[in-house]
Chains A and B, each alone.
Chain A
Amino acid sequence: MLSRIWHIVNKELIHLRRDILLVSFLVLGPVLELVFIAWSTSSPIEHLPTAIVDRDNTALSRGLVVALENSETFDAGYYPANEEELASLLDAGSVSAGVVIPPGFGKDLSSPASQSIQVQVILDGSDPTAARAAEMSARGVIESYAYRELLQNWGYLGGRLGGVIRTDYRVWFNEELSEANYTVPSEMGFMLEMVALMIAAISIARERELGTFEKLMVTPIRSWELIVGKAIPAVVISYFDFLIMLGITIFVFGVPMKGSLPLLLVLALFYIFVELGWGLLISGFSRTQLQALLLVMMLYMVGMVFSGYAFPVDTMPPLMQAAANLVPIKHWLLVMRDIMLKGAGINMFWKELVALAVLGIIINSVTLTVLRKRLD
């Protein structure tokens, strides 16, 4: 039995050795890609090109312009004279946001009896992420500027300073609120998922497409031996990729490793097995490599949506939230973040582990039954 499994492993290794290009894509590709992607997305959303129309032009309005310019989010490179010019800048995509300070802003801000002080912020809604970031930041900058001025003026009027609520922030688990600490481990998770899925999915589909599958069927190899034999090289390559990417994540991108490294290493192996199950299942259903590839891509993109990487799962419709629990990577990203950023132990994320285990058992047993039916 063991020797039969070993023969399959050996056969797979010979295939890989022949296709050196494939091996280098599989091993180096995800690593390079991680570096590129992590490098591009690891800073917060900043430097959005912004146009400011200051129709007030008083000391106070100029103060606001300076406050906006000093914020990291906005790069105020444009000062159009009126709203029409601003509109054409937005149309052309030259700016993602515009701030219009109406005439009378300074007067309103300095006279305490005025009812409304208006500032207009125009956002380019065709890029929702940028729009959202700009909205949040504009709110923060403009409100805190105006409130500061108002508190001063009004407090002075009452002959004393107003009571100030100072908010002391403490950020836990990711103290400097580094974007990289969030994005890089997630992106590493995606790369790992991809490698595991891809190798597993294509392994059996390839035999079937090239007609070598029949030859395997006439040998005394049993279906589960074939599956294990095919899974081993996939696990080895995926795990090797994981180790390199983990090194890059920690040493190049400076993501902290607060928890137990051995725990993470063991759980990564566990996660790879769950994903392999998906890959082999796809492999069992596909007659050609093209079909396998298309199914992998669909599964992968669906996983990306539900992973919580770009969109918080908490705000999805209930049905989608339930569906998200079926996606292994969602649980894996939480586990990885808990270990790396929080230094948490199993008691903090046992729910995710149970979910992964249940998924793994279901997926892998379905895979075994499906493949056995096809093979025997």
Chain B
Amino acid sequence: MNLTRTVSIMRKEMRHILRDRRAFVLVTVSPVFLLLVFAYSMSVEIKNVAIAILDYDQTTLSRRYRDGLASTGDIVIRYWPRDYAEMQSRLERRQAKAAVVIPAGFEEELLAGRETSLQVIVDGTDPSTANHTITHIAGYSQEVALEILSEALAREGIDVGQLSPIQLRMRTWYNPTLKAIIGWVPGLIAIVLGMPAVAATLALTAEKEKGTLEALITTPVQRSELIIGKLIPYVISGLFSAVLCALVGVFWLGTPFRGSPLLYVLLSADFFLAALSISLVISVFVPSQQAAMACAMLIFLFPGFFMSGLFYPIASMPPEMKMEAYMLPTTHYLTITRGLFLKGLDMSSLWPFAAALLAMGLGVTGVSIVTFKKRLG
């Protein structure tokens, strides 16, 4: 391998990147833009779930139940249907996500110490909202039952003290307020940085489609020089985006950065090496930019989004898919960014992920050097 030849390939590639200015700006700035759009619009909080209440009882107790239900802000009582049919249409039209039917005799039964049943109807099309609403209503109903019981006991002269005896102390570490932006930014950075990798796949294939690869083949450049020379500029441009994203994440969006910035740059380079080596392999096998694009999207974009653990914890996936998830560079990089930004981890806990990325990067680059023939077709 000759360093001068590698460097000239690098310079040629750099010039390609810089010449298409619009693409260059898109590649480096779009991750930041996406980061901002995501950060400002996402929250996992399920709040203000609109419900309808159909109160057949209309007593002091049923009113008390109704009023307390909406007090935490998780649920908003938006509709007071007159009959079952109206309630049904509210649910069908998606105006209400759930409905509570308080039966006639609710108060009477409860005060007599008997069992009474509330009917709760939830719209199951969105299961997580549905589950949340069910948990909330069930917990609240138990609380009301306890309140009434303790009041009844107090009347009989047995003082059992105040209400809500369970204190669940929920503490969320690394992101104490579960504030959406802080929790999401590190993971999102890992995802949006897949964009430079997809772009590189296309840029690497362009040479083939335009026929300039023939010109390269006639030069004395060796395949390892060609491949390494082509990879490095994209790693550099990717790192530029990575640093930009981190700066925006920390200074604009207010995400903490608790780890070492140097480690972030190093491990990001590690990630780009792994991701770009996959881009390179695709570009070796695929004839046109269109096909390269389809292929890169299928490898980076979708799995990066859905299977890297960003939206959906890997622990909950079926075992076969867990393996698949660990084969994606983004999965490991996501663990790294979360660890660096939020947990302040160092290499002693991050090394397995860094090693996985390095192994992918070196392995796949090796494969592409071996399989890339300096010929056409």
Contacts and interface: CB of A to CB of B under 8 A. Distances in A.
Interface of A: 19, 21-22, 25-26, 29-30, 32-33, 36-37, 39-41, 43-49, 75, 90-93, 96, 112-133, 135-140, 142-144, 146-147, 150-151, 154-155, 157-158, 160-175, 177-179, 181-182, 187, 190-191, 194, 198, 202, 206, 209-210, 287-291, 293-295, 297-298, 300-302, 304-306, 310-312, 314-317, 320, 323-324, 334, 337-338, 341-342, 344, 348
Interface in B281-337: 286-291, 293-295, 297-298, 301-303, 305-307, 309, 311-313, 315-318, 320-321, 324-325, 335
Nearest to A159: B156
B214 interface: no
A40 B306 CA distance: 8
Smallest CB-CB A-B distances: 8 pairs = A125-B175, A174-B124, A25-B294, A162-B149, A128-B183, A40-B321, A125-B172, A22-B291
Interface of B: 20, 22-23, 26-27, 30, 33-34, 37-38, 40-48, 50, 91-94, 109-132, 134-135, 137-139, 141-146, 148-150, 152-153, 156, 158-162, 165-176, 178, 180, 183-184, 186-187, 192, 195, 198-199, 202-203, 206, 209-210, 286-291, 293-295, 297-298, 301-303, 305-307, 309, 311-313, 315-318, 320-321, 324-325, 335, 338-339, 341-343, 345, 349
Nearest to A160: B113
Contact of A170 (B43, B121, B144): B121
Contact of A155 (B38, B149, B287, B342): B149
Given A40-B306, A142-B166, A163-B111, A348 B93 contact: yes
10 contacts: A19-B291, A21-B291, A129-B311, A143-B139, A143-B168, A147-B142, A163-B114, A210-B210, A301-B192, A316-B43
A19 B173 contact: no
Given A45-B316, A47-B316, 20 more contacts: A19-B287, A22-B291, A40-B325, A44-B131, A125-B173, A125-B183, A127-B309, A131-B172, A133-B313, A139-B170, A144-B142, A161-B113, A162-B149, A163-B110, A167-B118, A168-B120, A297-B30, A297-B198, A298-B33, A320-B41
Contacts of A166: 115-118
A37 B303 contact: yes
Contacts of B313: 45, 48, 96, 127, 129-130, 133
B180 A139 contact: no
B199 A154 contact: no
Given A40-B317, A177-B130, A310 B290 contact: no
